[in-house]
Amino acid sequence: MDTFDAIYQRRAVKAFDPEHLLSKEEEQKLFSAAIQAPTSFNIQHWRFVVIRDPQLRQQVRALGNNQSQITDSSLLVLMTADSKAWAKEPQRYWKDAPKEVSDLLVGWMGPFHEGREWLQRDEAQRSIGMAMQTLMLAAKAMGYDSCPMIGFDIEKVAELVKLPADHVMGPLVAIGRGVKPAQPKGGQLSLSDVVIDNTF
């Protein structure tokens, strides 16, 4: 599928075929695309928690306003990120780069992040957002639909998946074969409302 077609056709689909399964190859293709998303310093914060267990999915659904896509989608992914990834063997993020490049960027990582908890969290959330959009566009390009969701009890879902203390949590993403079209768009702001030249 053409990139622009995927962008314009991607919608938040709420109803999925509960009998449909993605193959291992399709899952690998999706996640291999998702990790092409950019991250600051190439830290690759994202951690994709694939919720497969049917009982766990039911528990998440109960904490997610009973949204059917939580249990009916082929793939349910909880987007998380390691906010301390910058401090965990940072040289591995640049292992294939020339030594001078690796030394420079790894050397910058600590001073850039250290003591700036707000920045660590912001960077992790930015990484989640870029990977999530890449994942949804890849799904659309493969003929699947998706639905990003934030309407769930974040703290309780974090407990269910045993989210580490140094990780942050983003939305859930349901992926699968849609069985109903998305609702019509509620309204799109014009470019003149959102594109600002130089200053506000």
Q: Would the pLDDT of 182 be above 90?
A: no
Stronger pLDDT, 183 or 85, i.e. the higher one: 85
Given this model, what pLDDT does residue 127 score?
97
Structure tokens at 56: 């766990």
* Phi and psi angles of residue 78, each rounded to the nearest 5 degrees, phi first: -95, 120
Inform me whether the pLDDT recorded for 79 exceeds 90: yes
Supply the pTM of this predicted model.
0.94
Mean pLDDT of 148-172: 97
Residue 129 reports pLDDT greater than 90:
yes
pLDDT above 90: residue 159: yes
Please give the share of the chain, as a percent, with pLDDT higher than 70. Answer: 100
The pLDDT value recorded for residue 195 is 97
Three-class DSSP category at 144: coil
In 3D space, the residue among 180, 155, 189, 186 whose CA is nearest the CA of residue 169 turns out to be: 155
Q: Domains for the chain: give ranges and CATH numbers.
A: 3-181 (3.40.109.10)
Rounded to the nearest integer, the mean pLDDT of the chain is 96
Average pLDDT of the residues in 115-135: 97
Backbone dihedral region for residue 61 (phi beyond 0: left; psi -120 to 50: alpha; all else: beta)? alpha
Which residues in 22-159 belong to E strands, given as ranges? 46-50, 75-82, 145-149
Q: Which residues contact 128 (CB under 8 A, 6 or more apart)?
A: 45, 46, 79, 80, 81, 168, 170, 171
Gap between the terminal Cα atoms of the chain: 37
- pLDDT score of 193 more than 90: yes
The pLDDT of residue 185 is above 90: no
Q: What pLDDT, on a 0 to 100 scale, did the predictor assign at position 181?
A: 87
Least confident span in 29-38, 56-65, 178-187: 178-187
